[in-house]
Amino acid sequence: MTDATTGPDHLTGPTPDNALRDADRAEARGGGSGGPGDPVLAADGTPLKQSLNRALRAQKLRALALIAPLLLFILVTFIAPIVDMLFRSVENEIVVETLPRTVAALQDWDYASGEAPDEPAYRAMAFDLMIAAERREHTRVGSRLNYETTGISSLFRKSGRGVDDVGEVYTDQFVELNEAWEEPATWVTLMASEDWQESHSEWVAAGEAAEAADEDFDDLPPRFEVADRIAEILPETAGIYQAFADTIRTEDEESPAEEEPWNVVYQALYDDLSGQLGSAAETYAGPGADLLREAATAVPDFETMTVTDQMIEVDEDWAEPEVWGTIKAFDGPYTSGYFLSSVDLQKTPDGVERQPEGERIYILLFERTLFLSLTIMACCVALGYPVAYLLSNLPMRTSNLLMILVLLPFWTSLLVRTSAWKVLLQQQGVINDVLVWLGIISDGGRLVMINNQFGTIVAMTHILLPFMILPLYSVMKTIPPSYVRAAKSLGATNWTAFWRVYFPQSVPGIGAGCILVFILSIGYYITPELVGGTTGTFISNRIAYHISNSLNWGLAAALGTILLAVVLILYWLYDKIVGIDNVSLG
Amino acid sequence: MSIELPPYASTGQKVWHYAYLVICGLIFFFLIAPILIIIPLSFNAENFFTFTPGMLSFDADAYSLRHYRDFFTNPDWQQALWNSVRIAPVATLISVSLGTLAAVGLSQSHVPFRGAIMAILISPMIVPLIISAAGMYFFYSRIGLQGTYVGVTLAHAALGIPFVIITVTATLVGFDKSLTRASANLGAGPLRTFFKIQMPLILPGVISGGLFAFITSFDEVVVVIFVGSANQQTLPWQMFIGLREQISPTILAVATILVVISIVLLSVVEILRRRSEKLRGMSPG
Question: pLDDT digit string (tens) for A108-127?
Answer: 888 888 888 888 899 899 98
User: Do the Cβ atoms of A408 and B263 come within 8 Å?
Assistant: yes
User: Do the Cβ atoms of A63 and B106 come within 8 Å?
Assistant: yes
Q: At what angle do helices A168-177 and A263-274 cross, to 10 degrees?
A: 70
Say yes or no to pLDDT of B227 above 80.
yes
When mean pLDDT is compared across A2-16, A270-284, A294-308, the lowest value belongs to A2-16
Which residue type does A217 have? F
Say yes or no to pLDDT of A27 above 50.
yes
Say yes or no to pLDDT of A358 above 70.
yes
Residues in chain B: 285
The chain-wide mean pLDDT, for chain A, equals 85
User: Do the Cβ atoms of B236 and A419 come within 8 Å?
Assistant: no
Quote the Cα angle for A432-A438-A444, to 5°.
50
Say yes or no to pLDDT of A585 above 50.
no
pLDDT of residue B283: 46
pLDDT of residue A13: 53
In order of their start, the domains of chain A are: 3-88 (no CATH), 100-164+308-357 (no CATH), 177-307 (no CATH), 362-582 (1.10.3720.10)
Q: Compare CB distances from B161 to A70, A82, A481 and report the shortest one's residue.
A: A70
Say yes or no to pLDDT of A6 above 70.
no
pLDDT of residue A582: 53
Residues from chain A contacting residue B50 (CB–CB below 8 Å): 423, 428-430, 433
Q: Sorting pLDDT into bands at 50, 70 and 90, what band is B2?
A: low
- How many angstroms from the chain centroid is the CA of residue A255? 38
The three-class DSSP label of residue A192 is: strand
For residues B198 and A16, which has the higher predicted lDDT (pLDDT)?
A: B198
% chain A with pLDDT above 90? 24
Q: Compare CB distances from B138 to A81, A390, A393 and report the shortest one's residue.
A: A81
pLDDT of residue A1: 37
Per-residue pLDDT tens digits for B97-139: 999 999 989 888 778 888 889 889 989 988 999 999 999 999 9
pLDDT of residue A3: 39
User: Do the Cβ atoms of A81 and B140 come within 8 Å?
Assistant: yes
> Which residues are paired to A348 by β-bridges?
A351
Nearest to A431 by CA among B139, B50, B2: B50
Return all residues near B39 (Cβ < 8 A) that are at least 6 apart: B256, B259
The three-class DSSP label of residue A347 is: strand
Residues in chain A: 586
Write down the ipTM of this complex: 0.87
- Cα separation, A290 vs A313, whole angstroms: 34
Q: Sorting pLDDT into bands at 50, 70 and 90, what band is B6?
A: confident
Mean pLDDT of B1-28: 85
Mean pLDDT of A143-167: 88
Say yes or no to pLDDT of A580 above 70.
no
Q: Is the dihedral of CA A14, A20, A24, A30 positive or negative?
A: positive
Mean pLDDT of A50-57: 87
CA distance B237 to chain A (A): 9
User: Do the Cβ atoms of B222 and A485 come within 8 Å?
Assistant: no
Return all residues near A500 (Cβ < 8 A) that are at least 6 apart: A487, A492
For residues A15 and B181, which has the higher predicted lDDT (pLDDT)?
A: B181
For residues A216 and A154, which has the higher predicted lDDT (pLDDT)?
A: A154
Instruction: Pick the residue of A57, A74, A376, A506 with the most B CBs within 10 A to test the interface with B by mutation.
Output: A74
Q: Compare CB distances from A429 to B49, B212, B222 and report the shortest one's residue.
A: B49
- By DSSP bridging, strand A351-354 and strand A345-348 are antiparallel
Say yes or no to pLDDT of A90 above 70.
yes
Quote the Cα angle for A284-A289-A293, to 5°.
80
- Cα separation, A387 vs A513, whole angstroms: 13
Nearest to A347 by CA among A558, A121, A101: A558
Which residue type does A11 have? L
Per-residue pLDDT tens digits for A503-517: 999 988 898 889 889
pLDDT of residue A4: 40
pLDDT of residue A8: 46
Q: Sorting pLDDT into bands at 50, 70 and 90, what band is A302?
A: confident
pLDDT of residue A277: 63
CA distance B105 to chain A (A): 4
Nearest to A531 by CA among A427, A449, A442, A439: A449
Nearest to A301 by CA among A123, A177, A120: A177
Per-residue pLDDT tens digits for B240-267: 988 888 667 888 899 999 899 888 888 8
Quote the Cα angle for A370-A376-A381, to 5°.
125
> Which residues are paired to B63 by β-bridges?
B44
Mean pLDDT of A6-32: 60
CA distance A291 to chain B (A): 49
pLDDT of residue A135: 87
% chain A with pLDDT above 70? 91
Neighbour count for residue A544 (Cβ, 10 Å): 23
Quote the Cα angle for A150-A152-A154, to 5°.
105
Say yes or no to pLDDT of B236 above 60.
yes
Mean pLDDT of A55-78: 91
The domain segmentation of chain B, as residue ranges, is 11-62, 75-247
pLDDT of residue A7: 45
Say yes or no to pLDDT of A313 above 90.
no
Which residue type does B227 have? V
CATH of B75-247, one of 1.10.3720.10, 3.30.1330.20, 1.10.579.10, 3.40.50.720: 1.10.3720.10
Say yes or no to pLDDT of B277 above 80.
no
Say yes or no to pLDDT of A440 above 70.
yes
